[in-house]
Amino acid sequence: MTDFSEWFHDILEEAEIIDMRYPIKGMHVWLPQGFKIRKHTLNILRDILDEDHEEVLFPLLIPEDELAKEAIHVKGFEDEVYWITHGGLTKLNKKLALRPTSETAMYPMFSLWVRSHSDLPMKFYQVVNTFRYETKHTRPLIRVREITTFTEAHTIHINKEDTENQVNRAVEIYKMFFDALGIPYVITTRPEWDKFPGADYTVAFDTLLNDGKTLQIGTVHNLGQTFARTFDITYETESGEHEYVYQTCYGLSDRVIASILGVHGDEKGLCIPPAVSPYQIVIVPIIFKKGGEEVLKFCKEIKEILKNKGDLRVHLDDRDIRAGKKFYEWEMRGVPIRIEVGPRDIKDNKIVIVHRNNLKKEIMDYYPESFIDDIQRILHDVNHEMSEKSWKFLNENIRPVASLEEAAEIITDKKGIISFNWCGEDSCGTDLEEKIRVDILGVQKDGLGEKKCINCEKPAKHVTLLARSY
């Protein structure tokens, strides 16, 4: 796909995912189809997080003085905050910010909640909308000004080691989540200049869209004790002293939905993983002049089996229009499998199954006893194939280079992700970014022995990834 943006924009409209005509830039309406994908996606994430996090819900508004308390944090967000200045006609004494993220909403409360070492660790999350007055080019679901699906987790620990373990645990959680959706990723530690404002360090997940540009789809931050000091979050140790806590936070957004659509989609439209597809199966009766009744009856029968016994999301498309038109529409909407039933098939005890991901047609023997299992197996296969295909694409598009010239050539020509050896110096990194107009995603591995940095030729410290990114 050469023009991802155009494809993406068109498919969001045609498949009725969101309505982009809302009259505020960067804010959109979730339509029923999009909302369903969002709902199923959130269910997967909630199931994982609920194992050891507790869901909470904080107010949208943050008083100006709380937002301003943590200097580095507020500096990072100052250009992006929306302010409420009036209540009706009355000017507020204290301006109120629409949360750009919730650290400064939550942490004053954490200071009240955390008392003793025995309270810790605490792990919370919430799913909310956040607001960022983005100045870079906005894009639906990818860079929005109202992030409608901000899933943010915040954890509190007694020591440094525990926060490091939690960072690793959060990375595992997000891996599990993205794996369930077949979204491939690279994981790196962001360079200093690109870490979350106020964090000690940031670990990020990036995926590769099919135009060769990367998209950051999730971040995990080790906050150390910075916010604990600012918001005075302390606990009493066993020996009665007061110590500052250590914290982590991590978050995902609407970009997850964008990547589900963008990673798996193709020229025929969407291809949605079975786990989150609004309909997992669509049944299309092939009706000729004769035998129509019988075909419809059979279709209804298998629909009931799939729905009631298999607990699957299934739709019988019995509209009086050409079958070809139905095929086109359900392929565009990305329904993972389509079942076609004609009069001949019923006589032969066969049904035709078409896999959306590769459009493979399979003629299956119909046995009522094993039907659910057969369909579950196919859904499982489709999911697996989608995941394999997207991982293959990612892996084929990570290219190691030995020089800056080579990096520049590949990034213009083939795009994708480039892996290179880097000294790790901020000044060298930002210089390299400008020279060949790329973003350093982050570092992967340390300890490079004799190798040299491809930009400054000082000894290299890290295997590092770069790309052009959204």
Contacts to ligand P5A by CB under 6 A: 101, 132, 134, 143-144, 147, 152, 196, 216-219, 221, 249-255
464 near Zn ion, judged by CB under 5 A = no
Find which of Zn ion, ligand P5A, none residue 30 binds, CB within 5 to 8 Å per kind. none
Q: What is the DSSP letter of 202?
A: E
Find which of ligand P5A, Zn ion, none residue 38 binds, CB within 5 to 8 Å per kind. none
Please say whether the beta carbons of 114 and 211 come within 8 A.
Answer: no
Give the rounded distance of the alpha carbon of 1 from its chain centre.
21
Q: What is the DSSP string of 223-248?
A: EETHHHHHHT-EEE-TTS-EEE-EEE
Q: Please pick, from the candidates 37, 455, 462, 467, the single residue that binds Zn ion as defined by CB under 5 A.
A: 455
Report the nearest approach of ligand P5A to the CB of residue 220 (Å): 8
- Residue 76's Cβ-count burial label (10 Å; 0-12, 13-18, 19+) is middle
448 near Zn ion, judged by CB under 5 A = no
C-beta atoms surrounding 51 within 10 Å: 9
Strands 54-55 vs 122-131: parallel, antiparallel or unpaired = parallel
Find which of Zn ion, ligand P5A, none residue 144 binds, CB within 5 to 8 Å per kind. ligand P5A
Find which of ligand P5A, Zn ion, none residue 249 binds, CB within 5 to 8 Å per kind. ligand P5A
Report the nearest approach of Zn ion to the CB of residue 462 (Å): 10
Find which of Zn ion, ligand P5A, none residue 453 binds, CB within 5 to 8 Å per kind. Zn ion
443 near Zn ion, judged by CB under 5 A = no
Size of the site for Zn ion (CB under 5 A): 5
What dihedral do alpha carbons 404, 406, 412, 413 form, nearest 10°?
-170
C-beta atoms surrounding 172 within 10 Å: 11
CB of 191 or CB of 342, closer to Zn ion:
191
The residue with its CB nearest to ligand P5A is: 251
453 near Zn ion, judged by CB under 5 A = yes
H/E run at residue 93: strand 90-98
Please say whether the beta carbons of 56 and 128 come within 8 A.
Answer: no
CB of 209 or CB of 316, closer to ligand P5A:
209
CB of 216 or CB of 397, closer to ligand P5A:
216
Whether the bond into 108 is cis, omega within 30 of 0: no
Report the nearest approach of ligand P5A to the CB of residue 255 (Å): 4
Report the nearest approach of ligand P5A to the CB of residue 81 (Å): 13
Find which of ligand P5A, Zn ion, none residue 456 binds, CB within 5 to 8 Å per kind. Zn ion
CB of 358 or CB of 427, closer to Zn ion:
427
Report the nearest approach of Zn ion to the CB of residue 427 (Å): 8
Please say whether the beta carbons of 107 and 141 come within 8 A.
Answer: no
Report the nearest approach of ligand P5A to the CB of residue 318 (Å): 39
SS3 140: coil
299 near Zn ion, judged by CB under 5 A = no
The residues, ordered by sequence, that sit 6+ positions from 125 with a Cβ below 8 Å of its Cβ are 49, 53, 54, 55, 56, 151, 152, 153, 154
CB of 33 or CB of 253, closer to ligand P5A:
253
Q: How many residues does the chain have?
A: 470
Please say whether the beta carbons of 152 and 128 come within 8 A.
Answer: yes
CA-based nearest residue to 404, from 468, 466, 469, 470 = 466
Range in contact with Zn ion (rule: CB under 5 A) among 135-143, 275-283, 361-369, 448-456: 448-456
233 near Zn ion, judged by CB under 5 A = no
CB of 53 or CB of 461, closer to ligand P5A:
53
Q: Where are the alpha helices (DSSP H) in 159-225?
A: 160-180
Find which of Zn ion, ligand P5A, none residue 468 binds, CB within 5 to 8 Å per kind. none
Interface positions, 373-392, toward Zn ion (CB under 5 A): none
By the criterion CB under 5 A, which residues form the site for Zn ion? 423, 428, 453, 455-456
